[in-house]
Structure 1
Amino acid sequence: MKKNVAIIIGGYSSEYNISIKSGNVVFKYLDRSKYNPYRIIITKEKWYYLDEENNEFLLERSDFSLPLDGNKIKFDCVFNAIHGTPGEDGLMQAYFELLGIPHTSCNHYEAALTFNKRDLLSALKPYGIPCATSYFINKGQSIDEDAIAEKVGLPCFVKANRAGSSYGVSKVYKKEELETAIENAFKEDHQVIIESFLDGTEVSIGVITYNNEVKVLPATEIISENDFFDFEAKYMGKSQEITPARISETQATNVKERAEFIYKVLGLKGYTRSEFIFIGAEPYLLEINTTPGLTEESLLPQQAREAGISLEALFDSAIEEALR
């Protein structure tokens, strides 16, 4: 019997439109001989099923079921394609875990941990994972430009602590620019992290559970035409993404081992994509994404193709692992 799969897309953050694109690709490539896919749009105002004629049908939130044509459709699995809140920060994961519905992403605690850059760095510190030097500010705190510059140096990166797709990120060269950059980051989150600039080759590397085994995908080298890998570079063609990355054998081994170690030590599952910058042969961790982009052009699908995994197989494996 075919499984009913809810593909949740949208969300409450600035990444809404990116999530819609990812979810539509998942909907397109899911094997109809095995699954009945339903696009479920999650917004602050309503949760609803969107059929292929763009008709909307509201969900029953008490048990995440779909009243349709006098029937009540229940879902065997949820495919999580929401970037940002509430799909990447643990909220939807906790909801589905309470309802006992299998889902393709990591569990709620691990999702919340990896989405919070500060907490992620704290959790990995005992394991000696190299990261940039960081400085934290909460909304309402005074901004001490001298203390920031002394700790992290200039240039530096100002980031929203809990956001993705480079929303709320600025590269700052002068102390006088810090306040504006921090206010920009506060538009996305009330917590801000300021990090030292790492000058080296940037790579992105996927780690997934595939056929019941942890699998590290080939790394992608990121070359931005802009000052850094910002929104334009990620989504508007202002970058080169080279898979496999043009890095040495030693670098490739080091980043593979580090990404796999982090995945396992944090107890992650499903898809992840981690960003690193090399200082020499040493990969420094920037961040971890637990619901990465899934369009044909996105980094994780690029890496899967390089590893000989089609989108159909990639998405099928995620559901099989969730059901397992």
Structure 2
Amino acid sequence: MLAIKKAVSTLRDEEVKSYLTQILAGIGELKEQYGQLERPLEEHMAEPVAELIEQYSSLMSLPAQRAFWDPAPDSTHVHILCGDSFGGSMKQVLKEFGWTDTHKLIILRENYAIGPLDQLDTPVGRKLRSDWFRQHIHEYFTVSDECEREYTELLDNLEQISEQAQIVIWTGSNASEQAGQRLAVHLLGNRQNEIIVLDAGAICEKLFNQPHAFINYCHSGEIPSDKLREALLRIDGGSRLTATDIARLSQGWLTISGQSGVLRIWREDALLEVPADYYDSYLLEKLDSLEPPPGNDGFLKSARLVGEAIGYCEQYIGDAYFEHRVRELIYSGVLEIKGVPTAMRFYSIRRKKG
């Protein structure tokens, strides 16, 4: 039981959903078969039980899988990056190159574009951030000390970086990765390792964009593995940080972590704090431009509105924050609701009439 608790405690939000969905699907299949038996139960259970056992084995191996990517004494490179999606793509490419023994990863799993960052280097600040997510973001259902555990793990991994390893910080043209870059540089302190910074999105745009076919990446998690492969081959062309650069980025972290806001954007090469309702008018404009389905009395699924907002937004904010603001517009009386706001797919909205 202790081993199970340890494995579960390492899961991220999206992993919890994935495991739970697959396990419940397996149990549902067992239930359906049990109600239609013509032969002994044991003959019907083999495949579903095997799948459940496979899920169990996969879950229990997660701690070892994650530990494999932690910095080690013989690491030649340590990559610091934001987001599990980008981290998954990076792992795949490193495996393809056969670099897994010497290239290790430190993944910053939080979205630093949203939520308070004030005093994040203190337990009080981390609790404030964790509390804000639990109060405002429906998808955030992790344990109360999740932020504290993530931060402790980050510090431990940074401490494990050997002196000879080159540190590669990946960033992008968005507030989350830019803030993550500043946090990483700040926490690295006065280490003597060579630190280089790479923008995978900018590299791929330069390599692959054509006048008639181009993609502008809002965040690195959007980059497919085949294109990321080309970016990874250009490590030596990364921007090497000088002592002045390190001091500037560290001070940049102190600046944003001294602010009390909960929303940040990246504009004109600057990380800016903006009001919490910054995107409310944008959401309402999108709502007015969408055609509700016939026979639904003008109500539109909130998931469609949020999807539209994400699709046309030049910033990487994340669907959770947009959905949070939709609910705030409901609470303030600007929007009407039909359904239960437990998740986007369960309720619809429209402009309040009268």
Same fold (TM over 0.5): no
TM range (shorter): under 0.3
Between 1 and 2, higher relative CO (CA 8 Å, sep ≥ 6) is seen in 1
The structure having more radius of gyration, on CA atoms, is: 2
Bigger fraction of residues in helix: 2
Tell me the TM-score normalized by structure 1: 0.28
Tell me the TM-score normalized by structure 2: 0.26
Bigger fraction of residues in strand: 1
